[in-house]
Structure 1
């Protein structure tokens, strides 16, 4: 039987081709996007925020929103899941998503946002949604222009501003939005999603490797998944050492050695040892300071000594951020510990 002209056979072939293309596209996606939650039920944290947003959507009383908090805590995923629940199949036509770090001038507000918000709906019911990611990167003029656009189009459009630093959003915009703070995710919240991705991608990961990813992730789900994917691509096995090597972070054994040198060695030897470690292994002084800070807080030190060390480490990190020479700041790090040891001995 000739199936070359059979419409049903052609439809089946086109469906198979579409599925193959979709599978190929998903296999090349970064895991952050591949495993991004598509519904509110898939979110692993912020149950109170999700509950409030669900109630607002179901009662058709969604206000303007302001999501703020550290990166990788689910702000964008939450509002996209809300949009899918709100609009269903018409999600793409009823939602305008912009990244304000790229499009942050006043022209974007006057043109793209104003045009989208002012366009009348023909076949869809409900309000439109404008998602403005990284809104804290917008200029002040653009934020003041956005305030006027929000006022004018409130009847038909809702706005969701997403930012890391709420203090960079002008008070006039903050007062027009319902604010939600997204805190860093707890390790137990990240662990379940991490285990799901490891199982789905058949990653050979050890428990120590998973814990290292959680430690380096610091509550940032995006960072956790990117680190997992990078380590898996670079190494056959995801264990503690390969995770730290991929991240470029100091190994636990090296931090232990540095702490021992700083607490017991003389200043010249310690400076030479620390310089040799950072040069040969490519460690950043800032990363070493972060790890040492977490260690010394747990030590049994007099309050005045601990206060001196924390202040000294914060000054060194500040100078590093403004272009201080690593060699000089490394010497200052060793000097801070030498002074602390003398304070404890006096």
Structure 2
């Protein structure tokens, strides 16, 4: 009886497939005829994982140092130990109130609340935290929409309170702040709010009274230096001792400004020293400030005005920066009390007028005139 052609075809096909598998196994040499586990990661999967890791590392390396070295835990914060200690106790006892952080820029306000949130929520951070920059989204619609929707939504599989972080809350309109007050009252059972601002007087009293307030003071040089040295070591920055002092002095207690200045000076000059730091910050150099002070104290009105105007034009100095440095220089001189009061009062008026958009040329004339009057006050004839 002859075989069915279909049976012959199937048998031949199976035989061919078996030969192919055997040949493949032999070709791999070490497989010994066993088929590979389909669930095991192959070379393509490994390559993809390596590529992802490389991409993450590249992204981290290109981050600004301010973000790259932002503290990720409460233990990494370099200042405000008293505030951190209180917050740790509140978190441990599960009694976190509404918070209001205020103080100058770059003092750790945002880093502190983000570190608190990471400690509270861990892997659920993105689900449990709403972070808004109120200077971008500062109208009443955001309070009634985005914030109210987040605060009013219950989490089925989480018993903890949610957290709303409002950065730069002092930029919110008064109407938005009054609307926020009502939202805080309504959803306080399962949502906490943290407002961050530079100027606490721009937050309405009704909101201030509902929050526990913490003031973040400018960082002290010894607090900045440790973190600065850590970044210098990690990034292999060549920096001189006078460069460290200059960066901290120009930073004025603002860690963000310190790290930005360090990074920009390192990229521009490779070696970070005092002169390079001042040039990168466009701040008046010491020798230029000595010239300005001597001109104001000894030269005629015309010579002092022309000389300082020529210097500021050539080097691009801001008169506001000069006034700030000049106030420090003047306080180093022994002057009669009445003269010191006169000069500081006039310099503060000049700075205020510049802040309101006054002409730098006119304000320079006013500054030179103030020193001419001071010299007249000190002359024996007067």
TM-score under structure 1 length normalisation: 0.97
Question: Which residue in the other structure is 1:36 paired with?
Answer: 70
CA positional deviation for 1:315: 1.2
Call closer, same or farther: CA 1:332–1:251 in 2, change over 3 Å: same
Per-residue Cα deviation, 1:173-216 (whole angstroms, up to 9, x for no partner): 00000000000000110011111111111111111111111111
- For residues 138-217 of structure 1, the aligned pairs below 5 Å read 138-217=172-251
CA positional deviation for 1:82: 0.2
Question: Which residue in the other structure is 2:287 paired with?
Answer: 253
**Which portions of structure 1, spanning 4 or more consecutive aligned residues, are displaced by more than 6 angstroms?**
2-6
Asked whether 1:309 is paired with 2:343, we answer yes
Give unpaired runs (5+ residues) of structure 2. 1-27
User: What's the secondary structure of 1:316's corresponding residue?
Assistant: helix
In 1, the alpha carbon distance for the partners of 2:157 and 2:53 equals 29
User: What's the secondary structure of 1:8's corresponding residue?
Assistant: coil
Which of 1 and 2 has higher RCO (CA within 8 Å, sep 6+)? 1
Question: Which residue in the other structure is 2:273 paired with?
Answer: 239
User: What's the secondary structure of 1:36's corresponding residue?
Assistant: coil
In 2, the alpha carbon distance for the partners of 1:254 and 1:137 equals 38
Name which of structure 1's ranges 72-81 and 317-326 shifts more when overlaid on structure 2: 317-326
The alignment covers a number of residue pairs equal to: 346
Asked whether 1:229 is paired with 2:251, we answer no
Question: Which residue in the other structure is 1:123 paired with?
Answer: 157
User: What's the secondary structure of 2:239's corresponding residue?
Assistant: coil
1:67–1:162 contact (8 Å) kept in structure 2: yes
Question: Which residue in the other structure is 1:81 paired with?
Answer: 115
Question: Which residue in the other structure is 1:7 paired with?
Answer: 40
User: What's the secondary structure of 1:7's corresponding residue?
Assistant: coil
Question: Which residue in the other structure is 1:114 paired with?
Answer: 148
In 1, the alpha carbon distance for the partners of 2:56 and 2:84 equals 30
User: What's the secondary structure of 1:179's corresponding residue?
Assistant: strand
Name which of structure 1's ranges 11-20 and 267-276 shifts more when overlaid on structure 2: 11-20
Question: Which residue in the other structure is 2:60 paired with?
Answer: 26
Per-residue Cα deviation, 1:12-68 (whole angstroms, up to 9, x for no partner): 433322211110110111110000000000000000000000000000000000000
Question: Which of 330, 335, 343 is the equivalent residue of 1:296?
Answer: 330
In 1, the alpha carbon distance for the partners of 2:371 and 2:264 equals 35
Asked whether 1:320 is paired with 2:320, we answer no
User: What's the secondary structure of 2:224's corresponding residue?
Assistant: helix
In 1, the alpha carbon distance for the partners of 2:168 and 2:314 equals 38
1:90–1:124 contact (8 Å) kept in structure 2: no
TM-score under structure 2 length normalisation: 0.88
In 2, the alpha carbon distance for the partners of 1:335 and 1:162 equals 42
User: What's the secondary structure of 1:193's corresponding residue?
Assistant: helix
Name which of structure 1's ranges 81-90 and 318-327 shifts more when overlaid on structure 2: 318-327
Question: Which residue in the other structure is 1:285 paired with?
Answer: 319
Question: Which of 111, 126, 130 is the equivalent residue of 1:96?
Answer: 130
Per-residue Cα deviation, 1:159-180 (whole angstroms, up to 9, x for no partner): 0000000000001000000000
User: What's the secondary structure of 1:300's corresponding residue?
Assistant: coil
In 1, the alpha carbon distance for the partners of 2:238 and 2:219 equals 24
CA positional deviation for 1:4: 11
CA positional deviation for 1:262: 1.2
Call closer, same or farther: CA 1:152–1:245 in 2, change over 3 Å: same
Name which of structure 1's ranges 205-214 and 79-88 shifts more when overlaid on structure 2: 205-214
In 2, the alpha carbon distance for the partners of 1:286 and 1:185 equals 23
Larger Rg: 2
CA positional deviation for 1:275: 0.9
Name which of structure 1's ranges 161-170 and 333-342 shifts more when overlaid on structure 2: 333-342
User: What's the secondary structure of 1:192's corresponding residue?
Assistant: helix
Per-residue Cα deviation, 1:73-116 (whole angstroms, up to 9, x for no partner): 00000000000001111111100000000000000000100000
